[in-house]
């Protein structure tokens, strides 16, 4: 009787060991299969389902450009899975807006696109006598306004090389010390090499080209210690004054 009991117990232990061996042999396959299923669900969730699809756009950094203009130009693909959206293309489209200097586009999970714009900042207003163009530090004319904005130097630009001349005027304006820039009523330029600053009290500064603008500004600061009607720094090594008060 005891032998039969021992035999039954031995058979049970053997059966358990066999089941354990089979389970261990199948365990890696079960784990691998589970991981494949989970990976498939993740891919489906992010790239094919509507759960994480684009539902709207958040815009920041816009002060003068209407949000509706940015949103329309961005043309964010509403309803497209967020992970599949081409962010670079959206940024490139937003940068085509004249008043936008740069745009950064990111994803905001679970379903938003975030657009951060950097608007152009005017440093000079260019006029031909009938309209006013806002120009930023890169020399880019990006907006026309009906009236002259306050606080910006006015540049009267003529001649055929207008774009080059405007860029030269911006370079000169940027080189001026703040105290001197505040005295500038207007800037006249018929070409990139014939820039003149018109100051208050009918005082003129013959600047010439935008070359060596920083040096010319330094020479002019010293030269203006003399009271004169005309200061010529077009050749900074040989500055000239006219109409000095004795």
Is residue 5 located within the same domain as residue 113?
Answer: no
Distance, CA of 18 to CA of 245 (rounded, Å): 114
Is residue 155 located within the same domain as residue 225?
Answer: yes
Q: Nearest 5°: phi and psi at 195?
A: -95, 130
Please report the pLDDT score of residue 42 as a whole number.
59
Is residue 69 located within the same domain as residue 157?
Answer: no
CA angle centred on 214, ends 170 and 240, rounded to 5°: 100
Region 219-244: what's the mean pLDDT?
A: 92
Identify the domain containing residue 89 by its residue range. Answer: 56-119
Helix (H) or strand (E) holding 100: strand 100-108
Residue 207 structure tokens: 């600047």
Helix (H) or strand (E) holding 72: helix 67-74
Is residue 198 located within the same domain as residue 236?
Answer: yes
Is residue 238 located within the same domain as residue 201?
Answer: yes
The DSSP bridge partners found for residue 156 are 127, 188
Among candidate residues 68, 91, 119, the one where a domain is terminated: 119
CB 76 within 8 A of CB 113: yes
Label residue 180 by pLDDT band (50, 70, 90).
confident
Distance, CA of 90 to CA of 168 (rounded, Å): 33
Pairing of strands 184-189, 154-157: parallel
Q: Does pLDDT of 239 surpass 80?
A: yes
Is residue 138 located within the same domain as residue 237?
Answer: yes
Among candidate residues 12, 29, 48, the one where a domain is terminated: 48
Q: For residue 102, give the nearest of 62, 64, 57 by alpha carbon.
A: 62
Distance, CA of 207 to CA of 155 (rounded, Å): 13
Per cent of the chain over pLDDT 90 is 51
Is residue 159 located within the same domain as residue 114?
Answer: no
Alpha carbon 178 to its chain centroid, in Å, reads: 26
Is residue 64 located within the same domain as residue 8?
Answer: no
Is residue 110 located within the same domain as residue 142?
Answer: no
Alpha carbon 92 to its chain centroid, in Å, reads: 10
Distance, CA of 70 to CA of 116 (rounded, Å): 10
Residues 6+ apart with CB under 8 A from 234: 206, 207, 208, 209, 216
Look at the chain and report how many structural domains it folds into.
3
Region 131-148: what's the mean pLDDT?
A: 89
Is residue 164 located within the same domain as residue 179?
Answer: yes
Tell me the pTM.
0.72
Is residue 89 located within the same domain as residue 196?
Answer: no
Is residue 30 located within the same domain as residue 4?
Answer: yes
Please report the pLDDT score of residue 20 as a whole number.
58
Among candidate residues 119, 151, 173, the one where a domain is terminated: 119
């Amino acid at each position: 009787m005891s032998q039969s009991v021992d035999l039954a117990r031995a058979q049970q232990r053997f059966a358990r060991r066999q089941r354990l061996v089979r389970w261990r042999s199948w365990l890696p396959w079960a784990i691998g299969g589970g991981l494949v299923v989970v990976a498939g669900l993740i891919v489906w969730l992010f790239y094919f389902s509507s759960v994480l699809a684009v539902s709207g756009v958040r815009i920041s950094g816009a002060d003068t450009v209407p949000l509706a203009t940015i949103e329309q130009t961005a043309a964010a693909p509403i309803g497209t899975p967020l992970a599949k959206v081409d962010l670079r293309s959206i940024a490139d489209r937003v940068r085509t807006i004249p008043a936008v200097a740069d745009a950064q586009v990111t994803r905001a999970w679970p379903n938003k696109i975030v657009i951060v714009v950097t608007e152009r900042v005017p440093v000079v207003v260019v006029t031909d006598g009938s309209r006013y163009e806002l120009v930023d530090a890169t020399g880019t004319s990006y907006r026309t306004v009906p009236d002259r904005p306050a606080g910006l130097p006015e540049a009267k630009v003529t001649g055929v090389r207008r774009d080059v001349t405007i860029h030269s005027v911006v370079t000169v304006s940027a080189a001026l010390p703040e105290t001197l820039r505040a005295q500038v009523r207007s800037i006249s330029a018929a070409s990139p090499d014939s820039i003149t600053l018109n100051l208050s009290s009918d005082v003129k500064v013959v600047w010439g080209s935008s070359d060596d603008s920083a040096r010319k500004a330094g020479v002019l600061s010293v030269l203006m210690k003399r009271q004169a009607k005309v200061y010529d720094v077009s050749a900074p090594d040989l500055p000239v004054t006219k109409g000095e008060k004795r």
